[in-house]
Amino acid sequence: MSPATPPTTSAAAQPGTDGAAPASLAGREYEVEVGPVAHGGHCVARTEEGRVLFVRHALPGERVVARVTEGREDSRFLRADAVEILEASKDRVEQPCPFAGPGLCGGCDWQHAAPGAQRRLKASVIAEQLQRLAGLSAADVGWDGTVEPAPGDKVPKGEVPAWRTRVQYAVDEEGRVGLRRHRSHEIQPIDRCLIAAPGVSELGVEKRAWPQTAAVEAVAATGSGDRQVLVTPSPGGRLPLVELDRPVSVMRVEESRARGGERTVHRVHGRPYVRERAADRTWRISAGGFWQVHPKAADLLVEAVMTGLTPHKGDMALDLYCGAGLFAGALAERVGEKGAVLGIEASKRAVEDARHNLADLDRVRVERGTVEKVLPRTGITEADIVVLDPPRSGAGRKTVRQIAALGPRRIAYVACDPAALARDLAYFGEEGYVPHFMRAFDLFPMTHHVECVAILKPAEKGS
């Protein structure tokens, strides 16, 4: 249909005016039929004249008024928010969080969708990315097409699982904590976050003023009572006195980053790490280090990876992008004293944690550096099993080629982005490795993010 309201642009800004930039369409409204979900948490729609809209806060099949938030007359597509629902999907629910919605907090994409619908949307995105980027169907990768909820996360419509054990708050000029708005540096002040785990909520970070502060990160470890806050002062600001509702360790984060891009973190008081519990071991995670955010994620992923790899006693195993050593520890228990495990990790802090966490397992070695640089230097020419858990950008063609050259009988790929997974599966296909089976997990409820575990094996000769 035609625009519901005209754009508010001056004649001097219109395209075609001598030397003028193309006019912004921000604020223009279109009445549209909402199409399928796309990678990134939005749905696709088209205006009557054929413009593509990426619409947030909508669901497939709905009819909405979409207000443009980004885009110009010459843009290939426009970003928009659904600001009025004319015909609602049966999957739509009243969003539980008062800070979710157009122009507000950008953290949750799908508070307006029933929990089961969210998982179906994620499954649609995974299937679309596999087909588009790798030419693979769900059957090709041995996936049943479902996204599995984590234990305890099945909640009725209108309720939200409190799962996020690490929350990064931004702080505005008045010292109020909040969360960033979608694709923006603007801050939405909040007094609570519904998806924050109880251990985070009980600290009371949102109840206090944070003068001279740019950011506050709250951490609640799983399996221990460890609580930690990391405070980043504003430029030229002083660290405020931190008094919260529960005992907590306090770290100060410097704006500048050390070589390698890691944040510089200084202990103010308390332990400089938290203790996480997973896979029958306790893990030290230094301040600012990576650990799965969902409290059930570590155990779920270890179970999926080990089931797929079926390690044997005496195996040579690789844990690439190993972080604090979660998969390396699980592998070491299964390959036994005659086996060996090599972990590779770029983060200095994570390598120190991994070596500490696995110090009792002399069959484990952890090397620091990027996988593509370190792996060739190890002298390893063969491996039996490999697990890789790369960053959101994926492993890439070069690393895939290096892994395949080692001839493993099984590869476990842990992916937090279905597009990166699909691209890398295509690269593995070029190197003679095909998916054996795949599982998907909803470890980020209310958001568009999803975790997948794909198990690969050598293609049968002649196939």
Active site residues: 416
- DSSP letter for each residue of 126-174: HHHHIIIII---TTTTT--S--EEPTT----TT-----BSEEEEEE-TT
The two structure tokens encoding residue 323? 């972080």
Query: Which of the 8 DSSP states describes residue 134?
Result: I
SS3 212: coil
- DSSP letter for each residue of 346-374: S-HHHHHHHHHHTTT-TTEEEEES-HHHH
Locate the DSSP E strands across 118-181.
Answer: 148-149, 166-171, 177-180
Sort 78 into a burial class: Cβ within 10 Å, 0-12 / 13-18 / 19+: buried
Helix (H) or strand (E) holding 29: strand 29-37
Between CA 193 and CA 218 the distance in angstroms is 12
Between CA 371 and CA 405 the distance in angstroms is 14
The distance of Cα 194 from the centroid of its chain, to the nearest Å, equals: 18
Taking alpha carbons only, the member of 426, 429, 428, 419 closest to residue 452 is 419
**Pairing verdict, β 148-149 and 78-87:** unpaired
Sort 104 into a burial class: Cβ within 10 Å, 0-12 / 13-18 / 19+: buried
Cβ atoms of 372 and 398 within 8 Å: the answer is: yes
The two structure tokens encoding residue 225? 């009572």
Phi, psi of 73 (to 5 degrees): -55, -30
